[in-house]
Amino acid sequence: MFDDSRLDDAEVLSAADQRLRFLAEAGARVRAEVQLSAESIESLAEQGMPRAVVAAGKGARLLRAVLESACPVPFVAWPGPGLPGWTGPLDTVVVLAQATGDAGAATAVAEARRRGSTLILTSIRGSQIEELAAGPHSTVLTTQSDDSLAGAVVLLQAMARLRLGPAVDGEEVALALDGVASRCSPFVDSATNPAKLLALSLADGTPLLWGGSALAARAARRIAEAIRRETGRPAFAADVDHLLPVLERTPPKDVFADPFESGDSSVRASVLVVDDGSDDASVIAERVRLVEEAERCDVPVESVSETQGSELARYASALGLGTYLAAYLGIALSDA
């Protein structure tokens, strides 16, 4: 059962200090990685435009969300193993390869080397992928952590240097994460802490997450992953068309039900909208459609709203808040 008293219990929060501290240090990790890679990025030689850019590995979808609309050449995200069959010497392959055990990234790096493609990747110093990447057409941006967001900032700055993507301000992203850490700190009580308030709101249901823009949708999927990992409960992120059937089949709420006796409160849905301030008419229309259907089905709707700053800063803020939410859900549901 969800025990809300644990969210403000100093002893309980102290026991969870390691994972909460990791979240609080997200901004510092971005600064550290940007500083470490600054010289390597500055030394990147400008070159002719490639025929296409292929983003490979587990971080491919995040890179696509930022780069696809701004890249001056065709851009393909390839999160699976290997590379598209047409990839060759005229193409640039970018890999966000910090995560250990990313077999897709390893095979993509090996294929890029074999085919003579220009290769740009992030990698922890001394990793197997760094060894695989070594070659005359490879640029390895060495990192000191496996934080995928910090690595993405570094890789996106390298792409901007090569005129293959928009400018990315690493300090703005770091400040956005610092702001989330301040607002969602375990020392901020449940009355004013946005992550704890969301945890309280979503405690009795199965979260259905939706984000309208490409980055908001990516944040929704990452938050759902964090909730599943922290709680062992189901959480789903999908497009509106895939969420509506779930809402339509949500059983009516029984106001007389005793959750301590029935034990089935988690079968009801709760909607969490990830709002990054997109003013796209289609995004707004989809959000209205989702919220109206949720209200018709008597399903509660909550939102993570981060609307200030650049697209990447808003993504970082939404993801940071959602990750804190997942951590507090796990803490309140834990028996430890």
Domains in the chain (CATH in brackets) are 4-16+186-252+265-333 (3.40.50.10490), 27-169 (3.40.50.10490)
Answer with the residue of higher pLDDT: 240 or 133.
Answer: 240
Looking at residue 82, the DSSP 8-state letter turns out to be: S
Given its phi and psi angles, is residue 40 left (phi above 0), alpha (psi -120 to 50 degrees) or beta? alpha
What confidence score (pLDDT) does residue 266 get? 45
**Which residues are within 8 A (CB) of 286 and not within 5 positions of it... i.e. 6 or more apart?**
210, 212, 240
Q: In whole angstroms, give the CA distance from residue 30 to residue 152.
A: 9
Residue 232: phi, psi to the nearest 5?
Answer: 75, 5
pLDDT digits (tens, 9 = 90+) for 41-99: 988 877 789 999 999 988 899 999 999 999 999 999 998 888 999 999 999 999 998 65
**Which residues are within 8 A (CB) of 217 and not within 5 positions of it... i.e. 6 or more apart?**
65, 210, 211, 237, 239, 274
pLDDT digits (tens, 9 = 90+) for 110-159: 999 999 999 999 988 878 888 888 888 889 998 888 899 999 999 999 99
A 10 A CB-CB count for 268 gives 19
What confidence score (pLDDT) does residue 55 get? 95
What would the two tokens of residue 272 be? Answer: 């969490």
